[in-house]
Amino acid sequence: MQVPAGNLLEKINNPSDLKQFSEDELEQVCQELRQYIIDVVSVNGGHFAASLGVVELTVALHYIMNTPYDQLVWDVGHQAYGHKILTGRRDIFHTNRVYKGISGFPKRGESEYDTFGVGHSSTSISAALGMAVASHYKGETDRQHVAVIGDGAMTAGLAFEALNHAGIENSNLLVILNDNNMSIDPNVGALKEYLTDITTSKPYNRFRDDVASVLSKLSSVGPDAFKLAKKLEKSIKGTLLKKSNFFEALKFRYFGPIDGHDVKHLAKVLRDLRDIPGPKLLHCVTVKGKGYALAEKDQTKWHAPGLFDKITGEIKKTYYEKPQPPKYQDVFGHTIIELAEQNPKIMGITPAMPSGCSLNLMMKAMPERAFDVGIAEQHAVTFSAGLATQGLTPFCNIYSSFMQRAFDQVVHDVAIQKLNVVFCLDRAGIAGADGPTHHGAYDLAYMRCIPNMTVSAPMNEEELRNLMYTAQQENMGPFTIRYPRGNGVMVDWQRPMKAIPVGKGRLVNEGEDVAILTIGTIGNEATKAINDLNNEGYFPAHYDLRFVKPLDESLLHSVFQKFDKVITVEDGCLEGGMGSAVLEFMADNGYSAKVKRLGMPDNVIEHGEQPELWAECGYDAAAISTQVRLMGIKKDTTHTIAS
């Protein structure tokens, strides 16, 4: 749905158009850009509050910098909607996050203004530094490189590694710290407290406002006086803040904090900083959700609210006459509390996603036993390993695609030591509109190659509960449970929990001619397919493996002894996944069968709703049915199978 733009915004098709306006007109541009984001997201959905918080910063950057020659890198990308609108994508912005539409994140293949593809946090400083060093090497000394990173993303180890390196490089790098005290949930940790001290220190801020004019006067006296004054400045900063400046200790020139919603002042500061060589950090204080009162008040709720009435603020929800199955994340959230009430050893850990994975329920009920460690997946895993060495049973909940960032810690700190850490991988499989940076495509493959690791996936909510119950038993070792984004299939899901024998699959549906082997919730698509196929006269068997490591060898022996046609179905990559494991078993045991593997092909899967992408990749119910028709033998529709 197209939305009309304001009088000034409609004239901006690229940043050069923006530069035609006077600085006095920038405030109106900001008002119109903010309203346009509200108008479009309210009817089309998407991330919301983050982009509202950086409207003035976005306008000022494109006004002062010579983009795309000057390179602008957005961290994570939740906040880049204004950037997209100002860089030639206003007329197609209504397709944001829609199947075959533009991406919800910066994407190099989409625009020359998107200098670096993002979706995971904390990559911007490293990327911008690489660009800056490359420009320096090529002699492009006039080229600017800007990384915009939130204070939440700054907590990740990668950001600190990049800062440490950047401080010794004499490259044109400007890091803009967008300090709003939020990522998706409120930020945690010592860095948050440090930044709060800076922004709330009245003596320091008064000193900061005066120091520039003092130094400018002393500079006329001579270089020695200026150097002495700079040393005095650093000393006074440390005294006023009762600590030294962290960023200056890393050899960054620190500027700020400044009001991130004063577009004219931002433009002035950016113009000045553009002419200062070397690594610099500008500390901007902003409000996530700025300009939309409800989003300012509840920033977590309005991070990505879905469709809403922009006038009343009512978030539009679908109401059902009958009870609906819960989200898998909520099954996890309620079940871990049940288990923790029975088992005092259980702890909960998440890297900055307490609402997204529903660990916030445990954090509220048992605050001493549930931890948000900030955007720090590597730390989350090794912290969990440390807990496990002391006899505790940590449930480390990390989105599947984010767990990729901590693979070394899984191997080195957990698996080699055979520690009982339970990895709950949320958003496994196709993740939907967030696209390729968020699809949980690879966890079955990268977890099953690790020694000592158990790798499992439930087909429904009851099995998720049972696997969680199984994983917290004694001597289970490293244990992975993967499950998808979205709702389950059972209304009556809160049943008594019981242990599942590790490595034991199950027969879901007896059949003939063709055996369908599935892992995880995509097995429900196989169930749909079989219901339709039975009406056509096809009667495939269905087995739910439940474990991709260890495999149920007894079950697989019976399958290959009975069937010479097998279909494997997984909501994950085909390379190294469950289908590969089945082929390995078949080869190792001398079986010969025709095996067709269905799953994510070996290419990047773009964004779209889960059913759209399952269909595109060829493993939804319709695709499974088609494959059975190609391989199976049609029977009379009155045919019945003896149980």
Q: What positions carry a catalytic annotation?
A: 288, 377, 405
The secondary structure element, H or E, covering residue 519 is none
> Rg (Cα) of the chain, in Å, rounded?
27
Answer whether 572's CB lies under 8 Å from 430's CB. no
576 appears as a binding residue in the annotation: no
Bridge-based pairing of strands 393-399 and 346-350 is: parallel
Amino acid at position 643, single letter? S
Answer whether 397's CB lies under 8 Å from 353's CB. yes
The secondary structure element, H or E, covering residue 371 is strand 370-372
**Backbone angles phi and psi of 115, in degrees to 5:** -75, -20
Bridge-based pairing of strands 547-549 and 454-456 is: antiparallel
Spell 388-423 as b/e; 16+ CB within 10 A means b: beeebbbbbbbbbbbbbbbbebbbebbbeeebbbbb
Scan for tokens 């860089």, then name that residue: 87
Helix, coil or strand: residue 478 = coil
Answer whether 384's CB lies under 8 Å from 399's CB. no
Answer whether 616's CB lies under 8 Å from 99's CB. no
DSSP 187: P
DSSP 297: H
120 appears as a binding residue in the annotation: yes
Here the tokens at position 28 are 């109106």
Give 3-state DSSP helix, strand, coil % of the chain, rounded to 5: 45, 15, 40
Q: Rounded CA gap, 145 and 127, in Å? A: 10
180 appears as a binding residue in the annotation: yes
Here the tokens at position 72 are 């602008």
377 appears as a binding residue in the annotation: yes
Spell 609-627 as b/e; 16+ CB within 10 A means b: ebebbbebbbbbbbbbbeb
121 appears as a binding residue in the annotation: yes
CA dihedral (28, 32, 35, 36) in degrees, to 10, reads -160
Scan for tokens 């090497």, then name that residue: 137
Here the tokens at position 621 are 């119910």
The packing angle between helices 621-631 and 610-617, to 10°, is: 20
Q: Is 338 exposed, middle or buried (0-12, 13-18, 19+ CB in 10 A)?
A: middle
Here the tokens at position 639 are 């045919």
292 appears as a binding residue in the annotation: yes
153 appears as a binding residue in the annotation: yes
Where does 344-495 have alpha helices with state H? 354-357, 360-365, 377-389, 400-403, 407-409, 443-448, 461-471
Q: Rounded CA gap, 291 and 287, in Å? A: 9
Helix, coil or strand: residue 416 = coil
Answer whether 387's CB lies under 8 Å from 380's CB. no
Helix, coil or strand: residue 282 = strand
Residue 492 CA neighbour count, 13 Å, CB half: 2
Q: Rounded CA gap, 464 and 521, in Å? A: 10
Nearest to 578 by CA among 554, 613, 552: 552
The packing angle between helices 578-588 and 553-562, to 10°, is: 70
Report the binding-site residues for Mg(2+): 151, 180
Report the binding-site residues for thiamine diphosphate: 78, 119-121, 152-153, 180, 292, 377
